[in-house]
């Protein structure tokens, strides 16, 4: 059997990584989604260990100290992190673990665990990126400008990634990610053991 691996799907805001990952999971039941830890309170219906691992600040600090996060960040006063043990256990079992994350998080992971496979999802053009951000309709002109500026900055980190997927059409982007998964399973480093069986 092929060894498992961590597939990081990342990109600037407006790249559509959320939509793409949702569709990817719908089309591929066997993929495992990484479950984040968070200090925010569960919302109605959210299940511990499924949607998130709900932990308190003390536990979060402990996990940082013990190097138990692949990456972590604060958003609106709540903390979020990717627990390394969950990811590694699944990989050990031969699973492919999908992690959807922003560019800053992906760069943290690259530093800690360069064996992961990194996909950079990008919008087809800056105009389209702007359209997508504007369409959300929840943001002021200032927020929109800031998001655009950040997205432009984040594109510079492309060298940290292995693959670029242009998210022009969601199904097409998902097909490309599926091809990357199929190919990465065939990497010599992941399949070498099976040669022993053949011999």
**What residues make contact with its own copies under the rule CB under 8 A?**
120, 122-126, 152, 155, 158-159, 161-166, 176, 178-180, 182-184, 186-188, 191-192, 194-195, 197-199
Distances (CA, A) of 112 to 70, 71, 160: 7, 8, 13
State the Cα–Cα distance between residues 38 and 43, nearest whole angstrom.
12
Nearer CB in complex with its own copies: 1/64: 1
Of residues 57, 54, 37, the one with CA closest to residue 46: 54
Nearer to its own copies by Cβ, of 35 and 165: the residue is 165
Helices 126-135, 141-154: inter-axial angle, 10-degree rounding: 140
- By C-beta, is 9 or 84 nearer to its own copies? 9
Shortest spacing between CB 37 and its own copies, in angstroms: 30
> Min. distance of Cβ 60 from its own copies in angstroms?
33
> C-alpha angle 150/156/161, rounded to 5°?
115
Give least dist CB 98 to its own copies, A: 16
C-beta of 4 vs 123, nearer to its own copies? 123
């Amino acid at each position: 059997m092929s060894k498992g691996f961590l597939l990081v799907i990342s990109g600037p805001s407006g790249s559509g990584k959320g939509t793409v990952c949702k569709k990817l999971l719908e089309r591929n039941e066997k993929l495992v989604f990484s479950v984040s830890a968070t200090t925010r309170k569960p919302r109605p219906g959210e299940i511990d260990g499924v949607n998130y691992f709900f932990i308190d600040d003390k536990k979060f600090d402990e996990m940082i100290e013990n190097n138990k996060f692949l990456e972590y960040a604060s958003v609106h006063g709540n903390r979020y992190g990717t627990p390394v043990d969950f990811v590694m256990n699944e990989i050990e079992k031969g699973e492919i673990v999908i992690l959807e994350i922003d560019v800053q998080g992906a760069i943290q992971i690259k530093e800690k665990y360069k064996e992961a496979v990194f996909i950079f999802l990008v919008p087809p053009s800056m105009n389209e990126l702007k359209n997508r951000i504007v369409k959300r309709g929840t943001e002021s002109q200032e927020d929109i400008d800031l998001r655009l500026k950040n997205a432009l900055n984040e594109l510079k980190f492309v060298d940290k990634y292995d693959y670029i997927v242009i998210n022009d059409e969601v199904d097409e982007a998902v097909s490309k990610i599926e091809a990357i998964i199929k190919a990465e399973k065939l990497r010599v480093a992941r399949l070498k053991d099976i040669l022993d069986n053949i011999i």
